[in-house]
């Protein structure tokens, strides 16, 4: 997995500390960070193809200083079409390349390393968060007429019959379900990032590396929505449902985050557990031939570019990548919920474990997070010495 975060703790010790910013690239498989340039005042990180993501320092630096694709100078005719009225309305054709925030790109073994896991609710806040998520899932299943059972309820029933009775979803039903859920899933990260940003401004204190991870999560969820949107244009009724749900959920989550950020991160952790279950079932159906409409369907271009999929990628590859993203959110949010949200450093600000860990472990405890930050710090110091030696 490539994941290229850049803040680092300024001094060794426990979780509570400030940050400096550096440029880092990762070497796939090794899970080791490799310093690739001098210190910058902002985030200058590059990603590479998952098929060849062992960046050399030189390559990494080259990518670091190159402009993003959308910033490159284009010919006058191209420029004209981009600013003309005809071109301006067609964003999907204009937006090309990776101009998104940092996000994991997975190796084939990482994609298969995801397990369906549940974190046991331990205290009142956990139980409240988990209860709310289960309630929301039950209501959503009921309203959408979905009845999941492990294996077909009637082995002799045809796919059509199973779909009619709600035991299997058709491709269109899967899409509707995914589109609605993804439109909601992009809310918590943005709310949490907004509130932490405002708190930092208001109290004039540093944030300890939480904001950008939360923004990345929000964007990652939005990219899921943008990906599936290429397969279906939602009706006005569907859009109205999303509008209403967003209005209610955004404000509720905003208020709840003001009261208890920890319970909110736990809530998102449980929500992501459900997302992992949903996509795992989707993968199982797809691999068993129960969504024949998607079995040979090519992956949308936006997905190929975002997750660096191979050119012949199919929908199955996309769903695997999305499920891995949800697993990242599950791990990150359950881990953040174990921290002191006011004082502790975000352990994933500098680097993030690969999917072999996140897929089989539901969280980092606070002690593990502390150790992880210390290890990141040691790696950073080691690479800093390496850089000084080479310069
Ligand atoms: Fe998602
Ligand atoms: Fe998610």
For residue 275, how far is its CA from the centre of ligand 2 (angstroms)? 6
For residue 12, how far is its CA from the centre of ligand 2 (angstroms)? 32
Ligand nearest to the CA of 327: 2
CB crowding 191-208: b at 16 or more within 10 Å, else e: bbbbbbeebeeeeeeebb
Mean pLDDT of 137-166: 78
Q: Is the pTM of this model over 0.85?
A: no
Q: Which residue has the tokens 């806040």?
A: 125
Residues 352, 358: Cα–Cα separation, whole Å: 9
Of 208-212, 278-282, 315-319, 381-385, least confident by mean pLDDT is: 381-385
For residue 325, how far is its CA from the centre of ligand 2 (angstroms)? 7
Of 175-179, 249-253, 366-370, least confident by mean pLDDT is: 175-179
For residue 268, how far is its CA from the centre of ligand 2 (angstroms)? 8
Mean pLDDT of 334-356: 94
Q: Which residues surround ligand 2, an ion (CB under 5 A)?
A: 185, 272, 275, 326, 329
Contacts of 335 (CB under 8 A, 6+ apart): 347, 348, 363, 364, 369
Ligand nearest to the CA of 220: 1
Residues 384, 22: Cα–Cα separation, whole Å: 10
For residue 143, how far is its CA from the centre of ligand 2 (angstroms)? 21
Q: Where are the alpha helices (DSSP H) in 23-84?
A: 57-65, 76-83
What is the SS3 assignment for 7?
Answer: strand
Handedness of CA 268, 269, 273, 275 (dihedral sign): positive
For residue 203, how far is its CA from the centre of ligand 2 (angstroms)? 30
Determine the pLDDT at residue 273.
97
Residues 216, 22: Cα–Cα separation, whole Å: 18
- Judged against a pLDDT cut of 70, whether residue 391 lies above it is answered with no
Determine the pLDDT at residue 151.
64
Burial status of residue 120 (CB atoms within 10 A of its CB: 0-12, 13-18, 19 or more): exposed
Ligand nearest to the CA of 329: 2
Average per-residue pLDDT in the chain? 79
Which one, of 383, 373, 374, lies nearest residue 349 by Cα? Answer: 373
Ligand nearest to the CA of 183: 1
Mean pLDDT of 94-121: 85
Ligand nearest to the CA of 222: 1
pLDDT: which is higher, 326 or 9: 326
For residue 385, how far is its CA from the centre of ligand 2 (angstroms)? 38
Which CA distances in Å does 286 have to 81, 174, 227, 292, 305? 40, 11, 18, 7, 22
Q: What percent of the chain has pLDDT over 90?
A: 57
Could you report the per-residue pLDDT of 165-217, keeping only the tens digit for each?
778 888 899 998 999 999 999 999 999 999 999 999 999 999 999 999 999 99
Which one, of 158, 150, 69, lies nearest residue 116 by Cα? Answer: 150
For residue 323, how far is its CA from the centre of ligand 1 (angstroms)? 8
For residue 184, how far is its CA from the centre of ligand 2 (angstroms)? 9
Residues 88, 30: Cα–Cα separation, whole Å: 43
Ligand nearest to the CA of 268: 2
For residue 177, how far is its CA from the centre of ligand 2 (angstroms)? 13
For residue 189, how far is its CA from the centre of ligand 2 (angstroms)? 10
């Amino acid at each position: 997995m490539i994941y290229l975060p850049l803040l680092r703790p300024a001094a060794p010790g426990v979780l509570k500390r400030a940050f400096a910013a550096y440029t880092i690239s990762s070497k796939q498989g090794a899970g080791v960070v490799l310093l690739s340039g001098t210190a910058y005042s902002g985030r200058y990180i590059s990603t590479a193809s998952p098929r060849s993501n062992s960046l050399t320092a030189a390559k990494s630096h080259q990518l670091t200083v190159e402009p993003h694709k959308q910033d490159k100078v284009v010919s006058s005719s191209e420029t004209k079409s981009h600013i003309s009225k005809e071109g301006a309305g067609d964003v999907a054709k204009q937006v090309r390349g990776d101009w998104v925030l940092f996000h994991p790109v997975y190796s084939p073994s990482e994609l298969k390393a995801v397990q369906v896991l549940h974190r046991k609710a331990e205290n009142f806040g956990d139980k409240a968060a988990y209860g709310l998520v289960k309630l929301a899932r039950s209501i959503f299943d009921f309203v959408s007429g979905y009845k999941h059972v492990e294996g077909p309820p009637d082995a002799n029933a045809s796919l059509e019959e199973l779909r009619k009775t709600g035991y299997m979803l058709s491709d269109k039903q899967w899409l509707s379900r995914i589109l609605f859920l993804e439109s909601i899933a992009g809310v918590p990260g943005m709310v949490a990032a907004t509130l932490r940003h405002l708190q930092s401004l208001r109290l004039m204190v540093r944030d300890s590396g939480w904001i950008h991870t939360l923004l990345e999560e929000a964007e990652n969820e939005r990219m899921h929505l943008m990906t599936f949107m290429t397969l279906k244009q939602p009706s006005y009724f569907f859009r109205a449902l999303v509008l209403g749900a967003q209005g209610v959920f955004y404000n509720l989550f905003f208020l709840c985050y003001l009261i208890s950020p920890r319970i909110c991160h736990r809530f998102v952790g449980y929500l992501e557990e459900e997302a992992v279950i949903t996509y795992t079932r989707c993968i199982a159906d797809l691999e068993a031939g129960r969504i024949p409409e998607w079995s040979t369907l090519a992956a949308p271009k936006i997905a190929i570019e975002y997750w660096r999929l191979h050119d012949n990628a199919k929908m199955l590859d996309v769903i695997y990548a999305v499920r891995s993203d949800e697993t990242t959110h599950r791990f990150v949010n359950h881990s953040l919920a174990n921290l002191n949200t006011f004082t502790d450093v975000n352990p994933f600000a500098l680097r993030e474990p690969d999917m072999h860990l996140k897929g089989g472990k539901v969280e980092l405890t606070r002690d593990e997070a502390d150790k992880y930050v210390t290890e990141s710090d040691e790696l950073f110091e080691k690479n800093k010495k390496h850089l000084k030696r080479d310069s």
